[in-house]
Amino acid sequence: MIICRKGEISIMTKVSDPIRINRTVVKNRITFAPTVKFDYAGPDGKVTQKHIEHYKERAEHNCGLICVEATAVTPDGRFGPNHLGLWEDQQIDGHRVIVENGHKNNTVMLIQLNHTGIVSNPECGPSIGPSEVETRQGARSRAMTVEEIHRMQDHYAAAALRAREAGYDGIQLHGCHGYLINQFLNETTNLRTDEYGGSAENRARFAAEIIRGIRKSCGEDFIISVRTVGADPDLKSAIAVAEEYVKAGCDYLQVSHGYGASDPTLAIGGVPFGLICSLGVHFHEHFAGRVPVSCVNGIFEPSTVRYLIENDLTDTVDLARAILADPAFPEAVLSDSPYVRCFECQRCQYGPFTQHKCPAELKRRKA
């Protein structure tokens, strides 16, 4: 089918169309967003059989790309004592199995690398970040020295190298949702006056230098994605930061949210998706063709995935809860097969605090 966009004639993209990211071809436009399985890892941070089955099941249902959940680059940067890690070589083996299962299904495999920074769990380590600010627990974080910043960047690069060793096609830096990289961007958590604070270029420097380090150690073919803020505090500054990432060698921008947006230009309406997803749409418009862009949030209907791709609003669609609720959701998008819709109950997010079961999963198991 031929459609017009901005006066140009183009062929309509379909969800089933492949896309190239760096030098790797992703078989379709559906990606599984990183989602922590809070109670799966033990204190050693190693992959467990539960992780292996969880990701295998999702790869078997035609996900183009899977990004394995937030994985700590140092033990003190964990969400809690039971959190996946890649801070030492002994943690590599379990990841090999996850990756092999993905590759058997021709699914591109990334892993998200993270440090919690200021919001580190006190059971795991001290609260450190770009500046001394009040923490969630009412204590004060400690500002990192420049030497500590460089050491932390090396931890990210070392974890990326372990990811490559495990066979991953690339990594995703967790650059949003209020964790360390996001803390360098945000003006309430980064009060620095040195080269890591102030302008967008300086605030982006922490992650941009990590990207350069990973490129150097992991090679040209290795995918480096950043899950970045779509507006923190506004779209313009988020795009300026992302430009720095692209300049440093980022191959893929997966857009989510930061601390919070205060950008009146972002009001939306009349489209079948919400504000956070629209940030990815804005990024896609801005970066058109230079680097693939993904959007996320609140997408539960196969028709919305098709709408976003077929109207050239994004390059890939990242799905978290839809695929948690039913691993077969990608097939429902691609071929209209039946699926169990996410109940939007948020119970999956409260994993560490409650004994819960996903009602969609229960429904699937009963059927």
Ligand X SMILES: Cc1cc2nc3c(=O)[nH]c(=O)nc-3n(C[C@H](O)[C@H](O)[C@H](O)COP(=O)(O)O)c2cc1C
- Residues forming contacts to ligand X in the complex (CB under 6 A) are 33-36, 69-70, 112, 174, 177, 227, 256, 296-299, 319-322, 348-349
What is d(CA 158, CA 27) in angstroms, rounded to the nearest whole number? 29
Q: How far is the CB of 74 from ligand X (least distance, A)?
A: 16
- Provide the sign of the torsion angle of the four alpha carbons 277, 80, 97, 166, taken in this order: positive
Q: How far is the CB of 174 from ligand X (least distance, A)?
A: 5
Q: Which residue lies nearer to ligand X by CB, 22 or 114?
A: 114
Say how many C-beta atoms besides its own lie within 10 A of residue 82's C-beta: 19
Q: Which residue lies nearer to ligand X by CB, 202 or 316?
A: 316
Q: How far is the CB of 280 from ligand X (least distance, A)?
A: 11
Q: How far is the CB of 146 from ligand X (least distance, A)?
A: 27
Q: Which residue lies nearer to ligand X by CB, 86 or 192?
A: 86
Q: Which residue lies nearer to ligand X by CB, 189 or 254?
A: 254
| Residues constituting the chain | 367
Q: How far is the CB of 8 from ligand X (least distance, A)?
A: 31
> SS3 of 111, please?
strand
Q: How far is the CB of 297 from ligand X (least distance, A)?
A: 4
The interaxial angle of helices 92-104 and 146-166, nearest 10 deg, is: 50
Asked if residue 362 lies in contact with residue 326, where contact means CB atoms within 8 angstroms, the answer is no
Q: Which of 94, 107, 17 has its CA nearest to residue 59?
A: 107
Q: Which residue lies nearer to ligand X by CB, 58 or 192?
A: 58
Q: Helices in the chain by DSSP H: which ranges?
A: 49-59, 92-104, 146-166, 180-185, 200-218, 235-248, 275-287, 302-310, 321-325, 329-335, 359-366
Q: Which residue lies nearer to ligand X by CB, 178 or 233?
A: 178
Beta-strand pair 19-21/24-26 = antiparallel
What is d(CA 2, CA 311) in angstroms, rounded to the nearest whole number? 11
